[in-house]
A = this chain, B = another copy of it.
C-alpha cells in the first residue's frame, strides 16, 4: 500500500491518511481482514508523527473500517464495511452540495458532473485489484 501525502495541502495529514486507506479498500487493493502496518512502522515509513497515524486509525476504527487488536495489530475489519446509514447519507449530501452548487454556478452541466463521478468511480474500482500481485 503506497501512501502519498501532500504536506502543503490544507487537508490535515490524518485526513489524507484516512482517505487513502478508504480508497485502498474501495479499490480492492486492501482486502477484508488484511493487516495494516502498525502505528509506529507506518509513521516511520511516511515520515509523520505517531499521533498523526494514531488519529487516522482511531477515526477509521470509529467508523468501522478497521479493527485494532492489542496482539494482532491493525486489520481491515474482516466482518465487512460499515453500512449506508441515514447519518452517512446526510453527510454525503452535505459534502456534495457545495460541490454541485459551484459546478452549477460555473456552468458545468449536470451531465458533466455525473460523468466526473462515473470517471472517478471507474478510476477507483478499475485499479489493478487482482489479488494484490498475482
Contact = CB atoms under 8 A, between A and B. Distances in A.
Contacts of A92: 99, 102-103, 108, 116
Interface residues of A, number: 52
Going nearest first, the 9 A-B pairs with the smallest beta carbon separation are A26-B104, A26-B101, A19-B98, A23-B101, A100-B120, A81-B105, A84-B106, A26-B105, A22-B101
B70 A13 contact: yes
- Identify whether the interface residues of A are mostly helix, strand, loop, or mixed: helix
A128 to B, nearest CB: 16
A1 interface: no
Copies in the complex: 4
A9 B108 CA distance: 28
B106 A69 contact: no
A116 B94 CA distance: 11
Interface in A4-23: 7-9, 12-13, 19, 22-23
Interface of A: 7-9, 12-13, 19, 22-23, 25-27, 48, 62, 65, 67-72, 81-84, 88-89, 92-93, 95-108, 110, 113-114, 116-118, 120-121, 124-125
